[in-house]
Amino acid sequence: MRFDHRHLLGIEPLRPDEITTILDLSDQYVDFNRRRDKHANALAGLTQINMFFENSTRTQASFELAGKRLGADVMNMAMQASSIKKGETLIDTAMTLNAMHPDLLVVRHPHSGAVDLLAQKVNCAVLNAGDGRHEHPTQALLDALTIRRAKGRLHRLSIAICGDIAHSRVARSNLLLLHKMENRIRLIGPPTLMPSGIDAFGVEVFDDMREGLQDVDVVMMLRLQKERMDGGFIPSEREYYHRYGLDAEKLGHAKDDAIVMHPGPMNRGVEIDGTLADDINRSVIQDQVEMGVAVRMAAMDLLARNLRARPTEVVA
Ligand code: NCD
């Protein structure tokens, strides 16, 4: 098994064989998590601190569970109530935590690049749990695991990523990963929500759902990231649902066994029909949540092996 990284900051620096290493180990943790006794020691003795500067339900919960199941001491910092409010900078906060000797730091931050910056200032392993519209590597890995288990492979699939591509770190990390694994990627959404220059990336771009979904194996929906819009991107939510919302009729253009994905949280009736989202014959949305815990266990396990292989660094 080769995974020679100190941090997990994004999909961009990972090689295809390293992605496969993470997914193979994640498969083992999926089985482990289905057991009654879910306690292992891969992170025993290590301290994991979760710093979420943006709200999160599933990502934070699954990083916390992942750490606890592997025996780490896990602390959740309530960043809303922290010294940040009193004007402390991100770096000051990081340096303060660093002095408490954490081994794993899980960080979500609203600014793209903030997690990379923080990783340069601390001497523990840093995992990016989403930075602005830049990357969300564990989401792309859990999506990849879900696809690989549902389709039996992770290459030469036709995959549509639909909706608010421009504001989405999930789309960006998925695009990078699925491209590295040699899949055909189609991006579908209104031109106002499509990043400029995206066609240079070797993807096909559509603004019509029925055309874009034609014969795809996987339909990945995205949330409309209203908090990252300063108005004027879509005419109305009703109009958006009519044109870009996934329902059974539009899904009819994809392959008969195409799976439906969504990273959550969902806006039912805006980007996806609620009944379709709950249809266990088509939707793998709950599988994605299950895979999330396993992927985070695998990622922290691999980073911890590298940590233990290095001599202890003494912090001044
Ligand atoms: C995503 C995120 O925060 O980037 N959610 C998640 O991690 N499950 C997607 C989103 O917020 O729409």
How many angstroms does the Cα of residue 265 sit away from the middle of ligand 1?
Answer: 7
How many angstroms does the Cα of residue 53 sit away from the middle of ligand 1?
Answer: 13
Nearest ligand 1 atom, CA 139: 7
Long-range CB contacts (within 8 A, 24+) of 130-133? 130/54, 130/56, 130/59, 130/169, 131/107, 131/169, 132/169, 133/166, 133/167, 133/168, 133/169, 133/172, 133/225, 133/228
How many angstroms does the Cα of residue 312 sit away from the middle of ligand 1?
Answer: 35
Burial class, 256, CB count within 10 angstroms (exposed 0-12 / middle 13-18 / buried 19+): exposed
> With a threshold of 0.75, does the pTM exceed it?
yes
Nearest ligand 1 atom, CA 169: 4
Question: pLDDT by residue for the chain (316 residues), tens digit each?
Answer: 789 999 999 999 999 999 999 999 999 999 999 999 999 999 999 999 999 988 898 999 999 999 999 999 999 987 766 666 666 778 888 888 899 999 999 999 999 999 999 999 999 999 999 999 999 999 999 999 999 999 999 999 999 999 999 999 999 999 999 999 999 999 999 999 999 888 777 899 999 999 999 999 999 999 998 777 766 788 889 999 999 999 999 999 999 999 999 999 999 999 999 999 999 999 999 999 999 999 999 999 999 999 999 876 654 4
